[in-house]
Amino acid sequence: MQSDSNNRSGEIVQYDLSERMSFPNKEATLVAIKQYHIVEDYKFIVVESKTDRYVARCINYNNGCQWRLRASFSKIRDIWEIKKIEAPYTCLSTIISYDHVNLDSNQIATIVVNFVKANSSIYVKSLITEIKSFYGYSILYKKAWMANQKAVQESVPKTIVEYVTRHFIIDDVQDNSCYILKRVFLAFKPCIDGFNYYKPIIQVDRKILTRKYHGSLLTVIANRMM
């Protein structure tokens, strides 16, 4: 059974994981596994993750639930395949959670990438709302922000995004739902290709921010051959 795990239409696809289910690559395999757990409200941990092998088990494996999955790459068929699923899930979540341990930034990026393609300046809060409508989970702002950056990189191939943040503190109390951006590096592929043709000088431009945000935004351009 070939699963459409690369579905990026923004719609949730119901996965009923089964043995012999196949996928084009490891990334698609992980998307399907996470999708199933998020929709069914199960949780798993990774036991082993290699370039040709992936093993996961229920987060309550040592407390009675024996669900365990093993997937691997088939050199003969050139696909990833779920080889073995040991026992069905027998545990039920009794804790009300506002987030899901397996709903990470990579998984979120696969859902929001089309929104980012359509509107690269979409607000992170809007993405949080979309995930809430899809899954019913209210994810942290930082997780949504990281997913947005990954979606940008995917929507514009070979784009480089790197950033440094710090915690937001108010009245000596750290707010884990909010982070302050300190530095960001963003390079689009066309800019990277054209960099070799820049003039061999350093150019510095300063923009004074006067509206919602205050301070100065410095832009530096230099040829790496200097």
Domain that holds residue 215: 105-222
Lowest mean pLDDT among 75-89, 138-152, 173-187: 173-187
Name the β-bridge partners of 184. 163
Is residue 218 within 8 Å of 185, Cβ to Cβ? no
In total, how many domains does the chain have? 2
Residue 187 lies in a domain: yes
Same domain, 63 and 124: no
Same domain, 18 and 126: no
Same domain, 111 and 91: no
Give the 3-state secondary structure of residue 39: helix
Same domain, 113 and 211: yes
Residue 137 lies in a domain: yes
User: What mean pLDDT do residues 177-182 have?
Assistant: 72
**pTM for the predicted model, two decimal places:** 0.55
Is residue 139 within 8 Å of 129, Cβ to Cβ? no
Residue 152 lies in a domain: yes
Q: Which of 95, 128, 143 is the last residue of a domain?
A: 95
Same domain, 125 and 205: yes
Same domain, 127 and 211: yes
Same domain, 142 and 198: yes
The amino acid at 171: D
Is residue 151 within 8 Å of 116, Cβ to Cβ? yes
Q: Which of 95, 119, 148 is the last residue of a domain?
A: 95
Task: Give 2 or 138, the one with higher predicted confidence.
Answer: 138
| 96 pLDDT above the threshold of 70 | no
Is residue 208 within 8 Å of 216, Cβ to Cβ? yes
Task: Give 217 or 157, the one with higher predicted confidence.
Answer: 217
Compute the distance between CA of residue 145 and CA of residue 123 in angstroms, rounded to an integer. Answer: 9
197 Cβ contact partners less than 8 Å away, ≥ 6 residues apart: none
Q: Which of 32, 64, 95 is the last residue of a domain?
A: 95
Residue 37 lies in a domain: yes
Same domain, 117 and 193: yes
User: What mean pLDDT do residues 51-67 have?
Assistant: 91
Output the CA angle 104-105-111, nearest 5 degrees.
100
Task: Give 4 or 44, the one with higher predicted confidence.
Answer: 44
Same domain, 88 and 109: no
Find the helix or strand (DSSP H, E) in which 26 lies: helix 26-40
Q: What does the DSSP assignment read for 83-138?
A: EEEES-------S--SS-TT--HHHHHHHHHHHHHH-TT--HHHHHHHHHHHHS--
Residue 100 lies in a domain: no
